[in-house]
Amino acid sequence: MKKKFPPSLSASEATRVGNHLSLSADHVARARDTADSAKVLGTAGASVWQTEQLSCGAPALLTLRDVSHITKMSRSSLYNMLAANEFVRPFKMGRRSIRFLDSEVRAWIEERVAQRDAKEQSL
């Protein structure tokens, strides 16, 4: 079925709009694929560049929202754990901004898994 455009559009403008619409569909499909792969990797919510070390060699920094998505914990639970010194310490980036090192968050998760496995073996 042929797309109908407003009569005020010329043929070339209609073609440009049609091309833009197909480009948008490609972007949506690509974004959906990226989101699906992030779910598989357990990094849903975190930007793709934030889940790895940056190309310039700088460590990846995560926001509280990213950490919440990675750990599947609520922000309030994370704040409670921070207050009790039970979670990795964040960096203060500004007056109202904190960031976590991706490597430290992932190491904390691995440590929790090791604790769980040690408890299971001792039973």
CB 109 within 8 A of CB 100: no
pLDDT, tens digit, 9 for 90 and up, residues 19-38: 444 445 555 455 555 544 44
Q: How many CB atoms lie within 10 A of CB 78?
A: 18
Residue 58 pLDDT: 73
The CA distance from 33 to 103, in Å, is 25
CB 53 within 8 A of CB 60: yes
CB 42 within 8 A of CB 62: no
pLDDT, tens digit, 9 for 90 and up, residues 48-99: 434 455 567 678 899 999 999 999 999 999 999 999 999 999 999 999 999 9
Element (H, E) at 31: helix 11-41
pLDDT, tens digit, 9 for 90 and up, residues 88-120: 999 999 999 999 999 999 999 999 999 999 998
Q: Does the model's pTM come out above 0.75?
A: no
